[in-house]
Amino acid sequence: MKGYVHVYTGDGKGKTTAALGLALRAVGAGLKVFIGQFVKGMKYGELDALKRFTEEITLKQYGRDCFIYNEPVEEDILAARKGLQEMREVLSSGEYQLVILDEANIAVYYRLFSIEELLEAIEKRHKTVEVVITGRKADQKLIELADLVTEMKEIKHYYQKGIEARKGFEM
């Protein structure tokens, strides 16, 4: 079975959530999933939920903290580059049927690694691996390579009224 490339991008909420939904669907079908989270190094609610699927889902974070409120520092770059190297190996191994590169678009946008490096990792994946790349600001080259692109568009969001991120819904 041929694996396809999905991109979930845009300014709206739900990119990672959509990818995790696909991961649950894959697990339900007996598939193995690897999730690599770039930029993120903090604890999120989904991490606790995914612990229930330790045999089916492997999750690694390649970030120290959510630096997007500041400029990335050398440690952020090194963490992302190490993560991309590990993801190359995961993608090419064929061990996992679904591989999610969460926030890889943001990693490219902040120049933690180049779009060319990301594209090369995707293109050299095992032919059966389905891959999902999430994050705002997807590069046009990635959009052209992808088989499926979904843009999450924000129409209205309660944070505009000053509502903070809530446990279980945004974190």
**131-155 residue pLDDT tens:** 999 999 999 999 999 999 999 998 8
* pLDDT tens digits, 91-142: 999 999 999 999 999 999 999 999 999 999 999 999 999 999 999 999 999 9
Q: Among 17-21, 26-30, 91-95, 158-162, which stretch is predicted with the lowest mean pLDDT? A: 158-162
> According to the model, what pLDDT value does residue 157 have?
79
Within-domain flag for 94: yes
Within-domain flag for 96: yes
CA nearest to 145, candidates 112, 107, 105: 105
> How many other C-beta atoms can be found within 10 angstroms of the C-beta atom of residue 37?
24
As a whole number of Å, the CA-based R_g of the chain is 15
Number of domains in the chain: 1
Within-domain flag for 123: yes
Name the one residue in this structure whose structure tokens are 């959510």: 66
Within-domain flag for 161: no
Within-domain flag for 149: no
| Domain coverage including residue 24 | 5-139
Within-domain flag for 10: yes
> Residue 31, exposed/middle/buried by CB under 10 A (0-12, 13-18, 19+)?
middle
Within-domain flag for 86: yes
Within-domain flag for 120: yes
Residue 40: which CATH number? 3.40.50.300
CA nearest to 37, candidates 148, 132, 152: 132
How much is the pTM? Answer: 0.91
In SS3 terms, the chain reads as CCCCEEEEECCCCCHHHHHHHHHHHHHHCCCCEEEEEECCCCCCHHHHHHHHHCCCEEEEEECCCCHHHCCCCHHHHHHHHHHHHHHHHHHHHCCCCEEEEECHHHHHHCCCCCHHHHHHHHHCCCCCCEEEEECCCCCHHHHHHCCEEEECCCCCCHHHHCCCCCCCCCC
